[in-house]
Amino acid sequence: MTRRPLDILDQVLNRQPVIISLKGGREIRGVLQGYDVHMNLVLDKAEDEVDGTVRKLGTLIVRGDNVIYITPSIE
| Cβ(73)–Cβ(29) below 8 Å | yes
- Model confidence, pTM: 0.84
C-alpha distance across the termini of the chain, in Å: 30
CATH of the domain at 56: 2.30.30.100
Helix extents (H) in 1-75: 5-12
Looking at the 3D structure of the chain, how many domains does it have?
Answer: 1
- 5-17 pLDDT, tens digit each: 777 788 888 888 9
- What integer pLDDT is reported at residue 9 of this predicted model? 82
For the chain, what is the mean pLDDT? 89
Q: What are phi and psi of 31, to 5 degrees?
A: -95, 120
Task: Provide the residue range defining the domain that includes 15.
Answer: 5-72
pLDDT above 70 coverage of the chain, percent = 95
